[in-house]
Amino acid sequence: MNARRSNPGRWRSTTVLIAFAAMLAICTSPALVSALTCDCGDICVNTSGWWRDGSALNGSGTPIQTAINAASDGETIYVWNGSYTEDVNVNKRLTLVGESADVVTVTNSTADHHVFAVTEDYVNISGFTVTGAIGVTNSYLSGIYLDGRQHCNISNNIALGNHYGIYIDYSSNNTILNNTAESNHYGIFPRHSSNNTILNNIAESNNRGIYLFNSSINKFLNNIANSNSYGTYLHSSSSNTFADNTFSSNGYGIRLKFSSDKNTFLNNIVDSNTNFGIYLTSSGSNTLLNNTMSGNKYNFGVDGTSLSEYIQTIYTNNTVDEKPIYYWVDHQDGQIPTDAGYVGVVNSTNITAVNLTLTDNMQGVLFAYTENSRIENVTANSNFRGIYLDSSNNNTILNNDADSNIRGIYLDSSNNNLLLNNTADSNDEYGIYLTSSVNNTIQENTADSNNNYGIYLTSSSSNTIYNNHFNNTNNAYDTGNNIWNITPTEGTNIIGGSWLGGNYWSDYAGNDTEDGDGLGDVPIPYNSSGNIVNGGDYRPLLNPPEPNITSSAPESPVNDAYGTWQTFNVTVDQTVNVTWY
């Protein structure tokens, strides 16, 4: 278990129960273990039973539960060190204090039961390790379960090896403080819960460290979530605040999904996560301020299926690998500063992103619902998507490098754009990818050495694709009706030939049998082994054949004296540039 990291200067709670904490400090070890005294609470418990101060021991195989049954509202039960196996139902307004979570372990005795089930308000539980609630027929079990409760304080516990570590269900106005949730499926789980404060906890080695489902107006302050599949995951959860937390070495640091709107993320550190740092999907109107992302596989990204899901307030003091995020919404007539680490342009017009290097994000450049704008001379490598246009029209994508991404250049529901002279090489899936996009021109691009396809079009038609270079195992896929060549026109093509027509395909094995223009005549159309379903390239580009150079030896007698001139007859059957030395 990792030790808590000191965070001087970070948020401190002013509402922690100070009197309760002072009371806990009194009882650090039993004063007279063999005597029937109880000076640490109203009722004391050990593994043999329970007693009140000055009374006899009441033996019990379930001493914590029997003590609860004997207690009255407002009393404190103090539990001495040991291992307890029982299902604890806290149905009174009690304070339960374990000697220390390091020495007091409670394991559920029934497979399909919570360890602690809290069914009353104003309950305090502190100083226990709770474990074993994984279930057989019911997997929705918890180390500590708050069932529709208010004003409870769960502090200084260890929730280890349960399905849910600490489960806050339909509960509000509770404080979860200084706990460790380790090796559970879900570490800390508010469900349909609001106005809770989750402060100074550690969520470690869970599937989901902190998981919110349909929960709102909760505060998460100064927590650490590390080595989880998800540091924190918000599902349909809105208006929560995350401040001064650290999300490190998870799969995902922070993930929002399914209309998790109007959340605020402030002063968080998100680093060394193996998938995404902060990833907002299908969630709008969130605010990000002064968050630091570094060393994640993909530091930052926003995805949506509507304009509202791209509308975010993201300040430039959010950084990815020490470079600012520029996330512009409703802008006109501007140029992205050249120190950008991530670029998102939403619902904007006449924006230029030029001369940038953008790596290790969900998108290097995102244009969403943006028109008449330009992406030029951008290096967008090692992202999930290098350059991504969603519902963006009449833009120019020029002279960019989108290499070594998952997908190089990606157009989704985007029309009438020009992709000119870009490189999209060595991407894990596709070099150029179009879905639901029409009337785009794709010209003079290189898409080589991509793992799935050089270019992939689905639900897309009336795009013109010509004078591009494709050298991949699978060059093209197209289920629509697109145009793969223009009428032959004189001009230098992408492989140095003298005619423009179609594209260069590494696996085209045809020939120029008619007019010597360097465009394939048979067989046509090129259709990438049937992957271009309708039509294909009727003018594929051919590399010019190597010229035949024939030379004859000088006539005899040959004067072989040093420095004398010799005469050769040379015949070349094509136009070539030759330098003689």
DSSP 439-456: S-EEES-EEES-SSEEEE
Provide the 10 A C-beta neighbour count for residue 569. 10
Domain that holds residue 351: 322-547
Name the pLDDT band for 136 (thresholds 50, 70, 90).
confident
Whether residue 480 is contained in a domain is answered as yes
- In the Cβ-directed half-sphere of 316, how many Cα atoms lie within 13 Å? 9
Q: State residue 575's pLDDT score.
A: 52
Strands 175-177 and 153-155: parallel
Query: Is 425 within a domain?
Result: yes
Number of structural domains (the chain) is 1
Q: CA–CA separation, 398 vs 378, rounded Å?
A: 9
The model's pLDDT over 187-231, given as tens digits with 9 standing for 90+, comes to: 999 999 999 999 999 999 999 999 999 999 999 999 999 999 999
The answer, yes or no, to whether residue 2 has pLDDT greater than 90, is: no
Asked if residue 293 lies in contact with residue 277, where contact means CB atoms within 8 angstroms, the answer is yes
Place of tokens 């809105």: 238
Residue 279 lies in a domain: no
CATH code of the domain containing 457: 2.160.20
Partners of 398 in the β-ladder: 376, 420
What lies within 8 Å, CB to CB, of 291 at 6+ separation is 265, 266, 267, 268, 269, 270, 278, 318, 319
Answer yes or no: is pLDDT of 563 > 70. Answer: no
Read off the pLDDT of residues 164-189 as tens digits, 9 standing for 90 and up: 999 999 999 999 999 999 999 999 99
- Position 378 in a domain: yes
Q: Give pLDDT tens digits for 467-511.
A: 999 999 999 999 999 999 999 999 999 999 999 999 999 999 999
- Determine the pLDDT at residue 111: 87
User: Are the C-beta atoms of residues 129 and 160 closer than 8 Å to each other?
Assistant: yes
The overall average pLDDT reported for the chain is 92
Q: Tell me what the mean pLDDT of segment 286-311 comes to.
A: 99
Amino acid at 116: F
Question: What is the radius of gyration, based on Cα positions, of the chain?
Answer: 34
User: What amino acid is encoded at 96 in this protein?
Assistant: L
Which two tokens mark 56?
A: 């006899």
Return the structure tokens found at 249: 């070495």
The answer to whether position 412 is within a domain reads yes
Q: What is the pTM of this model?
A: 0.90
- Is residue 365 assigned to a domain? yes
Asked if the structure places residue 529 within a domain, the reply is: yes
Q: Does residue 379 belong to any structural domain of this protein?
A: yes
Question: Where does the pLDDT of residue 135 fall: very low under 50, low under 70, confident under 90, or very high at 90 and above?
Answer: confident
Residue 518 scores a pLDDT above 80 = yes
Q: How far apart are CA 225 and CA 219, in angstroms?
A: 15
- Residue that has been written with the tokens 């290098």 in this structure: 386
**Taking residues 86-95, what's their average pLDDT?**
99
Helix (H, G, I), strand (E, B) or coil at 24: helix
